[in-house]
Amino acid sequence: DIQMTQSPSSLSASVGDRITITCRASQSIRSYLNWYQQRPGKAPKVLIFAASSLQSGVPSRFSGSGSGTDFTLTISSLQPDDFATYYCQQSYTSPPTFGQGTTVEIK
Amino acid sequence: QVQLVQSGAEVKKPGASVKVSCKASGYTFTGFYMHWFRQAPGQGLEWMGWINPNSGDTDYAQKFQGRVTMTRDMSINTAYMELSRLRSDDTAVYFCARDVIQWGLRREFDYWGQGTLVTVSS
């Protein structure tokens, strides 16, 4: 199975900050990388498909980049709604696997 | 609008089975693979398998082979996930989620159910 490793595991930030979350795959997954946001007690919500394609309805402050093994999710200006846990997920091969998550907390 | 509505919370004893349902609406149920996941308390997301609602074909994660069964009832647009021989470490929230692509499999998930908490305790 492909292992997905996110860093950091958690971070504290303020409204308006720019933050970046990193995801690394244990082997090349080309651009088959997706990002999800999960708020406490809720289901995950997809933000980005194929490393950089924003899902319809997702604010443009979210962006993704990368290919091969290294990927990033950037939030350009944190909003109160953005304090949540973020997961990367590879869809290159079965089984689909997720990173362990990055929790974004209010500073 | 697309909706996936799951059945309610369950409490089971070790060794028992649980069956979780996922009722789909707002789209052609048979056109999209349905995946199942689980999330143990405070943990990340784990893929369990998929079912093709059109054919009934399934694929299960190796970890759950022999314990999980995914089925569907096309007459009521509902997918099911049954997990048997429950253990305490099966305590988790179980989610269904739709694959993004119609008549194909991309292992990307655009709509999710609200989750079903399954608690395994003696």
How many whole angstroms separate alpha carbon B95 and alpha carbon B103? 21
The answer, yes or no, to whether residue A107 has pLDDT greater than 90, is: no
User: Phi/psi class of residue B9: alpha, beta or left (left: φ > 0; alpha: ψ in -120 to 50)?
Assistant: beta
Residues in chain B with pLDDT values less than 50: none
B109/A87 touch (CB, cutoff 8 Å), yes or no = no
Residues from chain A that touch B35, judged by Cβ atoms under 8 A, are 96
Average pLDDT value for residue range A8-30: 98
pLDDT for position B60: 98
pLDDT greater than 90 at residue A71: yes
| Least CB–CB distance from B44: residue in A55, A95, A98 | A98
**Residue found by looking up tokens 């093994």 in the block:** A69
* Mean pLDDT along residues A80-104: 97
Alpha helices in chain A (DSSP H): none
Q: Which residues are CB-contacts of B17 (< 8 A; sequence separation ≥ 6)? A: B82, B83, B84, B85, B86
**Closest C-alpha among A107, A51, A56 to residue A82:** A107
- Average the pLDDT over A19-31 and give the result: 98
The pLDDT assigned to A42 comes to 97
Smallest CA–CA distance from A56 into chain B, residue? B110
Pairing label, strands B46-51, B58-60? antiparallel
